[in-house]
Amino acid sequence: MRCEVVAIGTELLLGQITDTNSSWIGEQLALAGIDSLFQTKVGDNLDRIVDTLELALSRSDAVICCGGLGPTQDDLTRTALAAVMGVPLVADEEMEEHIIGLFSGRGRSMPANNLRQAELPEGASFIEQMPGTAPGLICPLQRPGAGATTRDLVIYAVPGVPWEMKEMMLATVVPDLQLRAGITSVIRSRTLRTWGESESGLAELLAGRIDHLDGTGNPTLAFLASGIEGLKVRITAKADTDVAAEALLAAEEAEVRGLLGPLVFGVDDDTMESVVLDLLRADGRTLAVAESLTGGMIGSRLCDVPGASDVFRGAVVSYASEVKFDVLGVDPGPVVTTDAAVAMAEGVRRMLGADIGIAATGVAGPDEQEGRPVGTVCLAVISSTGEDAEPVVESLEIHLPGGRRQIREFTVITLLGLLRRHLLS
């Protein structure tokens, strides 16, 4: 079973919207064991949509159309599907009543053009799930095959709104594809999140294991560089049951962790900030942050984690040098140094009454500062161990590549990674 993804919308071609839907759909198809060899974007033009669908059907058994199911004039997916199927569009009275009910239930008047969404190509059916006002479609059709045979094909149409699309994909489209493909096995994956090594470095550490798995074919390992989220190592396993697949994943995770050690900081939806907050919570310790070049990004990411207020006291964005001197007690002088970072961390720790203080200062660019090149970043972690004991201090100077935004983002995860290492030690 080969399945192709066609994303519809001129805004995708103009770069006004990033096509994350196709990436997500491709991931779900891979996990379901469905081959997906092509992804295409096409604008809101009826002839070009029809041509794109015909091309997709010539080389794939199933096509997933994403977008163009709304009520406006540039929503052409239904019309294009009818043209490809060679049938008229017909109105479904039951769906019309449902859409009218959605609007009346919200106390809103319904523009008449919304009833266009109740139309479907003759012979097609609606997808049962309908989280929004745009119903999805399942459109079976046939094309000539080899000799006198015919090919049974199917086109699915789902909305471009991500949460609506995802519900339909997971509940109907993916199971229907597996049923058509005769797939009864289970494919599951687990993603190990890492930080502190390059992609090539990880590949070298895991080279022997990858060679071994290439010989067995199951499970498999793959790498994905995710910027500020670190490097991901995805384990994918195939088995007859969920229990068997999970057992394969657990065994392989243990093998990979044994090779990578502390480079692995989390699994699946873990983030570096969620991990350090959990470690702080387990230790019963609180955190304060002093930021310069990151301008609040560290505090923002920590606050994005539910329950962060249990341990996160707050942050001081000491962007100007004078704020470092007057508010955090940094000695006047150069501020892109590890000494300044340590003073910032201690200043914010005392100021906010936290057990641990962390700080970042540096040069994000575009110009040098204090004679330090762009990408120079100084980090510090300082923690108290008791009223009379000397605090434990760790500091680090690094040189990060990339533009201004990249340098700031990599500073965030690098500092949180330093904090994680500090907490584990």
pLDDT tens digit string along 347-366?
A: 999 999 999 999 999 999 99
pLDDT over 90 at 290, yes or no: yes
pLDDT, mean of residues 42-46: 96
End-to-end CA distance of the chain: 50
- For domain 272-424, give the CATH number: 3.90.950.20
Q: Of the candidates 41, 34, 76, which has an alpha carbon nearest to the alpha carbon of residue 56? A: 41
> What are the residue boundaries of the structural domains of the chain, listed by start?
3-181, 186-267, 272-424
Q: How far is CA 262 from CA 99, 150, 393, in A?
A: 53, 55, 20
Q: How far is CA 228 from the centre of its chain?
A: 11
pLDDT of residue 229: 84
Q: In this structure, what DSSP letter does residue 132 have?
A: S
Alpha helices in 266-372 (DSSP H): 272-283, 297-303, 321-326, 338-352
DSSP helix/strand/coil, 230? coil
Alpha helices in 32-120 (DSSP H): 46-59, 77-85, 93-105
pLDDT over 90 at 19, yes or no: yes
Spatial distance between the Cα atoms of 225 and 220, rounded to a whole number of angstroms? 17
The chain-wide mean pLDDT, for the chain, equals 93
pLDDT of residue 217: 87
What tens digit of pLDDT does each residue of 89-123 get? 999 999 999 888 888 776 667 777 788 899 999 99
Domains 3-181 and 186-267 share a fold: no
Spatial distance between the Cα atoms of 127 and 138, rounded to a whole number of angstroms? 6
pLDDT of residue 103: 80
Fold assignment, 186-267 = Alpha-Beta Plaits (3.30.70)
Both tokens assigned to 67: 């977008």
Identify whether the C-beta of residue 288 lies closer than 8 Å to the C-beta of residue 314: yes
pLDDT over 90 at 328, yes or no: yes
Both tokens assigned to 111: 């523009």
Task: List the beta bridge partners of residue 380.
Answer: 359, 395
Both tokens assigned to 115: 């009833």
Least confident window among 38-52, 163-177, 178-192, 309-323? 178-192
What tens digit of pLDDT does each residue of 184-200 get? 888 899 999 999 888 88
pLDDT over 80 at 271, yes or no: yes
- For domain 3-181, give the CATH number: 3.40.980.10
Whether a cis peptide bond, with omega within 30° of 0, leads into 131 is: no
Torsion, Cα 106 107 108 110, to 10 degrees, reads 80
Q: Of the candidates 41, 35, 33, which has an alpha carbon nearest to the alpha carbon of residue 9? A: 41
Both tokens assigned to 341: 């970072």
For the chain, give the percent of residues with pLDDT over 70. 99
Whether a cis peptide bond, with omega within 30° of 0, leads into 366 is: yes
pLDDT, mean of residues 278-307: 97
Burial of residue 64, with CB atoms counted within 10 A of its CB: 0-12 exposed, 13-18 middle, 19 or more buried: buried
Q: Of the candidates 103, 53, 112, which has an alpha carbon nearest to the alpha carbon of residue 79? A: 53
Spatial distance between the Cα atoms of 314 and 115, rounded to a whole number of angstroms? 51
Give the confidence band of 287 by pLDDT, cuts at 50, 70, 90. very high
User: Which residues are within 8 A (CB) of 3 and not within 5 positions of it... i.e. 6 or more apart?
Assistant: 29, 34, 35, 36, 60, 61, 62, 63, 64, 177
pLDDT of residue 184: 83
Task: List the beta bridge partners of residue 64.
Answer: 5, 156
pLDDT of residue 114: 80
pLDDT, mean of residues 292-299: 97
pLDDT of residue 228: 78
